[in-house]
Homo-oligomer: A and B are copies of this chain.
Amino acid sequence: MLTIAIDAMGGDFGPAPIVEGTLHALRERDFKALLVGDVTLLRSLTPHEYLDRISFVEASDVLDMHEAATNALKRKETSIYKAVDLVKDKVADAVVSMGHSGATMSLATLRIGRLKGVLRPAIATIMPTAVPGRLSLVLDVGANVDCKAEHLAQFAVMGEAYAKDILKIAKPKVGLLSNGEEESKGNEITKEAFLTLKKCESFVGNVEGNNIFDGSVDVIVCDGFVGNILLKASEGVADSITKIIKQNVRRSPLAIAGAVLMRKVFRVLKKQVDYAEYGGAPLIGINGCAIIGHGKSNSKAVKNAIFQAINFSSSNINADIEQKIALLEQ
C-alpha cells in the first residue's frame, strides 16, 4: 500500500481543507496518509474512524507563502521540509503540498534528488482543451526560468513519459512552444532544442499558443518563464470572460432568465476548466514523487492532488524517464 506524505499546514486556507481532502481521498482509494504539521490541531480535525489509515508527523514551523524559497533549506522544522524528507527517507512514496511551490520544488529536488541523467526537474500542469475528454500537459510552468536547449529537450522527454504512463495516451504528440509552426520560427534556444528533438518519434515540431487548448497536441514544452506567464494569462482570459458575462447578465432580467436556463452548460464549462479537477502539478524528474497543489486548493483539489500522487507513484514513469533520457543523450 502506498504512503502519501501531506504537508497539512501549507496552502492559503490552513489545514482544514487539506485534512478534509485527505479524508475524501481515503474514502475513495486505498493508501496510507501521513499528515505533517501541528499534530494536536490535525488530530482534532480527524474523525476517529480514519485513525487507522492516518498517521501524524509533528512539524512545529510553517513556511510562509511570501518567504524566499531559499529559506526553505534552512528551516528544518517546517511542515514542507519534514514532508519532503519522509520521501527522502523512504517512509513515504510521495509528497503533496499546497504550500510554497518554489520551496517544495527546491526541497524535493535537493533532498530527494534528481533521476539519473535529469539536469533539471520541471513542474508540469494539466490544461483543459476544447475537445471533451482530452487534456494537454504543459511543462515547465515555473521551476526553471532560464533554460538551455538541452533542458527543453529533457522536458519533452519527461512530458512524453507522463502522458504515456499517467494520462494513458498511447502515442503522445509532443510540441515545442514557439512563435510559429515553421521550423525556422523560435528564439535561439527553442531553435537549438528543435534540432535535438527532431530525432524523437513523438515530436511534432513547433506549436503555437492556441494549440495548448485545441487538442491537437498532448505535451507542450516551454521554459518556466514562458510557462508561468501563459498559465496566468490563460486564467486571466477565462476570469475576464466570466466577469464580462456576469456584469452584463446582471443588467437585464431577460439575460438573468437566460443564464438560469444555461446553468447546466456553465456548470459543465466550469468543471472542464476548473483546476480543482486536476488537483496539482507534478514535479517531474525527481527520484520520487512530489505534487505541487494550488495555494487556493479546496478539499476537492486536495483529493485530486493525492490521487495524482497515487497514480504517479504506482506507475513506471521514473524508470521510463531515465531510459528515455539516456536515449536522448546518444
Contacts and interface: CB of A to CB of B under 8 A. Distances in A.
Interface in A184-227: 184, 186-188, 190, 208-214, 222-226
Given A209-B232, A209-B234, A233-B230, A265 B240 contact: no
Nearest to A145: B187
A189 to B, nearest CB: 9
Interface residues of A, number: 65
A234 B237 contact: yes
A179 to B, nearest CB: 4
Contacts of A30: none
B260 A232 contact: no
Interface string A235-268: 1111111011101110010110111111111001
A51 interface: no
A146 interface: yes
B187 A210 contact: no
A260 B265 CA distance: 14
A269 interface: yes
Q: Please give the count of copies of this chain that the complex contains.
A: 2
A228 B264 CA distance: 35
Interface of A: 68, 128-130, 132, 142, 145-146, 177-180, 184, 186-188, 190, 208-214, 222-226, 228-241, 243-245, 247-249, 252, 254-255, 257-265, 268-269, 272-273
Contact of A229 (B177, B188, B239, B264): B177
A235 to B, nearest CB: 6
B265 A258 contact: yes
A255 B262 contact: yes
Given A241-B273, A258-B261, A258-B262, A209 B187 contact: no
B261 A236 contact: no
A223 B245 CA distance: 31
A188 B212 CA distance: 26
A180 B224 CA distance: 11
A129 B187 contact: no
B236 A179 contact: no
A249 B234 contact: no
Contact of A239 (B130, B184, B236, B259): B130
Contacts of A255: 261-262, 264-265
A277 to B, nearest CB: 14
Contacts of A186: 145, 225
Contact of A241 (B210, B212, B241): B241
